[in-house]
Amino acid sequence: MSQYWIDILLEYRRTRLPHVIYVPLAIFLATAAYSGADNADAGEWFFAAVLCYGLVAQFRLWDDLADIEEDRLRDPGRLLCHLQSTSGANRLLVIVSMVVLPLVLYRNAFGAGSWVYFALLAITAAWYGGGSREELSIATRSRIQLCKYPLFVLIVAPAPWPSGMPWLAVSMLMVYLSFVIFEFLDDDRIAAGKYADAELGAYIFCISVLWFVPLVTPGGDRILPGYVFAALMLAAVVLLTVLYRQRSGGGRPAALHYSIFVASFLSVAYSALMGAL
């Protein structure tokens, strides 16, 4: 790879995958993957976090390449919009994918998680290769594309799934709702939809309920006492309600909307088995 494309890759990482956001995101996804796990090993969890970061990087680059023409009109400051040709960027995507693939196979040993990854690759290729995507609204496209994040959780989740699947499913839903709500709060185009306020209110109600679900599990070793966890989740619900009111009033809640990921992380980390990490 030439020095030019190495510089492009490093600049893309800096601008589109800043560590201050995406390292915590990888930790959040890896932690969600261990909900309900029978065995929680710190080394395996760390590898899951590294793999989550790789998956996010791979699909982030894929998303940006697919949306490059739209971004040249809407957000021309993005790095990929300055490229005269995307052939080199596509080669970068292939290289990143070749790094992520063996990590997925090593993690899953050709188990169910590997097949989920292969299915996600096929679905994403069909999604970006077909023309039907452009016919959908921004909000609908966003809700579909955000499905990849709970699938990342499923890909890196420790086997066997059945023993912890109910809790894993709850965490996957929490991950998905976190991203959907974040997009509603962050993207003016999505917030401008005809029924956006009602949709956002429904999503907020659902995730507010899910945040408290870990309290129904038996005691055991906890990262926080139950009453402290409940107080934190209640505070998160209040903050999310304030953000909803700001958004429904036409405002944009600035960086505070990242707080939804903090609350969701605390909820998935509160499961009794997380104490073994």
Range of the structural domain that residue 48 is part of:
3-276
8 Å CB contact between 39 and 45: no
First to last CA, the chain: 39
pTM of the complete model beyond 0.85: yes
pLDDT of residue 31: 92
pLDDT tens per residue across all 277 residues of the chain: 567 767 777 888 888 889 999 999 999 999 999 887 766 778 889 999 999 999 999 999 898 888 887 777 777 777 777 776 677 777 888 888 999 999 999 988 878 899 999 999 999 999 888 767 778 888 888 999 999 999 999 999 987 766 667 888 999 999 999 999 999 998 888 888 888 899 999 999 999 999 998 888 755 566 677 888 899 999 999 999 999 988 888 777 777 888 999 999 999 988 745 444 4
pLDDT of residue 121: 94
Rounded to an integer, what distance in angstroms lies between the CA atom of residue 137 and that of residue 135?
7
For residue 272, which phi and psi values (nearest 5 degrees)? -55, -35
pLDDT of residue 162: 64
- Please state the domain count of the chain: 1
